[in-house]
Chains A and B, each alone.
Chain A
């Protein structure tokens, strides 16, 4: 039986062994390790691909693993998953298309985005300086927490609290895995 004290992971080769995934940390660790293994199998994390690409893929895998570990009850998890799904679809479409089409699509998208940005501008009511500062800070927080733009302040704070917990857990697990994998 092999044991990995840094990760707190204990495993056996017996078929009778079963994994208890009652905690978010355990779920995330299991999913993330599995995704890393799959990436290695497919050769996405090979030496051929650049370090930036690999880091982006690993980061996306980490975020998606955490979102799945949390479940769909949390708004930030749902928003994060749909964001990743959209980016994956876009990536797939872009890889399948030719360069010319890519350029034309990108130009069209840029134009659409510009139009949207022009239309989105809101008129803010005249408030005190302190209120203005608070509004700016809540807007910043909305930008940081996935799916925060469609929340009211109360739910935003709740989601932020949960998101911070999950991020801390994610950092711990990734740190442990990196320590295990790093050459001694």
Chain B
């Protein structure tokens, strides 16, 4: 049994543990005898909680459960353990007085390892040591702790006993841990959901490796596409480069489209107001144009022939179905180039090209066309 440095033996011829400079051989022998006496003290006669700590678990439990009415020596256990009781010197039957210094660290340690350590620490207990309520508490506490399987604090401070008890119930401990983990996860989930409801959303940086996930990569590609299209639209709409912000850019685009549509409407009204005097000599041009499409006679307007709706696969062969009308006309879009280039105002709208391809057209076909 090791004696801590704070404990001093105040008896005849006893020397403090800390003072080793002036130690004589006789004193050390006496000191050894004192220790042996203390070691050989029968635990039944002891009236302190330190005696209980030295006992095995079964005997300690018996001592605790025997009431004061049994009359035996085991029943006479110190009724309460408080800070004051620890600090007071108690009389040993063998006339050597052991004194515990009022060291708070020691008190805490003793309270931890004592069987009587209750719900609150010994420092905070303000009930007097000889009260009957405290006695009942001392009697009932071990029963509660024994009956409660979830209590993680061991009753016995002996490491061998602890190891035995742990080896006996490993599965119980695992279950307890799992329950605790589940409970904590549930609590954390509930708390997080409540926090999410209360607090605004905080952007958290993705973990390492999440940025290379297929979903995030696809999302990134989509965002890049959208940004590229937005830039293209910004370039098309005049005065949109100065504006920053997606909402404002979209506003400008909407206004621009609306203004263009209004311009088309206005120009159509203007063309309707002016009685058309199309004096272009385009009859020959229209006749010799091998890309002309036969126009359907829809009422109220002349609209060209409608094409069937094909899925847009980029496959040119789908559109190259030749619809022959009078063995001459084919849809214009069957032969059009892929590149939709837009002519600048400087370029000519309809260019003159002298080639001998149109010479093959017969005069009868021209008459039919006209």
**11 further contact pairs, Cβ within 8 A, besides A15-B366, A17-B354, A84-B303:** A12-B352, A16-B354, A23-B342, A35-B295, A38-B295, A39-B276, A45-B272, A137-B250, A154-B226, A167-B261, A171-B264
Mask for B320-346, Cβ within 8 A of A = 1, else 0? 000000000000110011001111010
Q: What residues of chain B lie closer than 8 Å to A11, measured between beta carbons? A: 280-282, 284-285, 350, 352
| Interface residue B6 (Cβ < 8 Å from any Cβ of A) | no
Mask for B297-309, Cβ within 8 A of A = 1, else 0? 0111111101101
Q: What residues of chain B lie closer than 8 Å to A111, measured between beta carbons? A: none
| Interface residue B265 (Cβ < 8 Å from any Cβ of A) | yes
**Chain B min CB distance to A158 (Å):** 6
Evaluate contact between B299 and A88: CB separation under 8 angstroms: yes
In angstroms, Cα B6 to Cα A170, docked, is 102
In angstroms, Cα B359 to Cα A144, docked, is 46
Known contacts A12-B352, A130-B247, A163-B257; A37/B282 CB under 8 A: yes
In angstroms, Cα B268 to Cα A157, docked, is 27
In angstroms, Cα B250 to Cα A134, docked, is 8
| Interface residue B180 (Cβ < 8 Å from any Cβ of A) | no
List CB contacts (< 8 Å) of A59-85 with chain B. Answer: 59-65, 68-73, 75, 78, 81-82, 84-85
Mask for A41-53, Cβ within 8 A of B = 1, else 0? 0101101000111
Q: Look across to chain B and name the residue whose beta carbon is closest to the beta carbon of A34.
A: B286
Q: What residues of chain A lie closer than 8 Å to B359, measured between beta carbons? A: 15-16
Q: Please classify how large the interface on chain B is, using the bins under 10, 10 to 19, 20 to 34, 35 or more.
A: 35 or more
Residue A29 contacts which of B226, B345, B349 (CB distance < 8 angstroms)?
B349
Evaluate contact between B333 and A182: CB separation under 8 angstroms: no
Known contacts A29-B350, A161-B236; A95/B254 CB under 8 A: no
In angstroms, Cα B302 to Cα A45, docked, is 11
Q: What residues of chain B lie closer than 8 Å to A57, measured between beta carbons? A: 272, 300-301
Evaluate contact between B353 and A17: CB separation under 8 angstroms: yes
A residues whose Cβ falls under 8 Å from a Cβ of B = 1-2, 4, 7-27, 29-31, 33-40, 42, 44-45, 47, 51-65, 68-73, 75, 78, 81-82, 84-85, 88, 91-92, 95, 130, 133-134, 137-138, 140-141, 144-145, 153-154, 157-158, 160-165, 167-178, 181-183
In angstroms, Cα B272 to Cα A47, docked, is 10
Known contacts A23-B342, A59-B265, A62-B268; A161/B233 CB under 8 A: yes
Q: What residues of chain A lie closer than 8 Å to B277, measured between beta carbons? A: 181
Top 6 A-B pairs ranked by shortest CB distance? A157-B229, A54-B272, A8-B349, A59-B268, A55-B272, A71-B333
Known contacts A72-B310, A154-B229, A167-B260; A177/B271 CB under 8 A: yes
Evaluate contact between A141 and B280: CB separation under 8 angstroms: no
Q: Look across to chain B and name the residue whose beta carbon is closest to the beta carbon of A153.
A: B226
A sample of 30 inter-chain contacts (CB < 8 A) reads A14-B354, A17-B358, A18-B355, A23-B342, A24-B342, A26-B350, A30-B350, A34-B292, A34-B295, A37-B278, A40-B278, A55-B273, A57-B272, A61-B301, A62-B267, A64-B304, A68-B304, A69-B332, A73-B312, A78-B309, A82-B306, A88-B298, A88-B300, A95-B299, A138-B250, A162-B340, A164-B237, A164-B257, A178-B270, A178-B271
Evaluate contact between B260 and A18: CB separation under 8 angstroms: no
**Chain A min CB distance to B31 (Å):** 79
Q: What residues of chain A lie closer than 8 Å to B246, measured between beta carbons? A: 134
**Chain A min CB distance to B182 (Å):** 32
| Interface residue B289 (Cβ < 8 Å from any Cβ of A) | yes
Q: What residues of chain A lie closer than 8 Å to B37, measured between beta carbons? A: none
| Interface residue B105 (Cβ < 8 Å from any Cβ of A) | no
Residue A64 contacts which of B261, B278, B291, B303 (CB distance < 8 angstroms)?
B303
In angstroms, Cα B303 to Cα A39, docked, is 10
Q: What residues of chain A lie closer than 8 Å to B348, measured between beta carbons? A: 8-10
Evaluate contact between B280 and A9: CB separation under 8 angstroms: yes
Evaluate contact between B267 and A175: CB separation under 8 angstroms: yes
List CB contacts (< 8 Å) of B235-290 with chain A. Answer: 236-237, 246-247, 250-251, 253-254, 256-258, 260-261, 263-265, 267-278, 280-282, 284-286, 288-290
**Chain B min CB distance to A154 (Å):** 5
Evaluate contact between B278 and A181: CB separation under 8 angstroms: yes
In angstroms, Cα B245 to Cα A134, docked, is 11
**Chain A min CB distance to B316 (Å):** 10
Q: What residues of chain A lie closer than 8 Å to B333, measured between beta carbons? A: 68, 71-72
Evaluate contact between A23 and B341: CB separation under 8 angstroms: yes
In angstroms, Cα B337 to Cα A21, docked, is 10
In angstroms, Cα B349 to Cα A63, docked, is 18
In angstroms, Cα B351 to Cα A73, docked, is 25
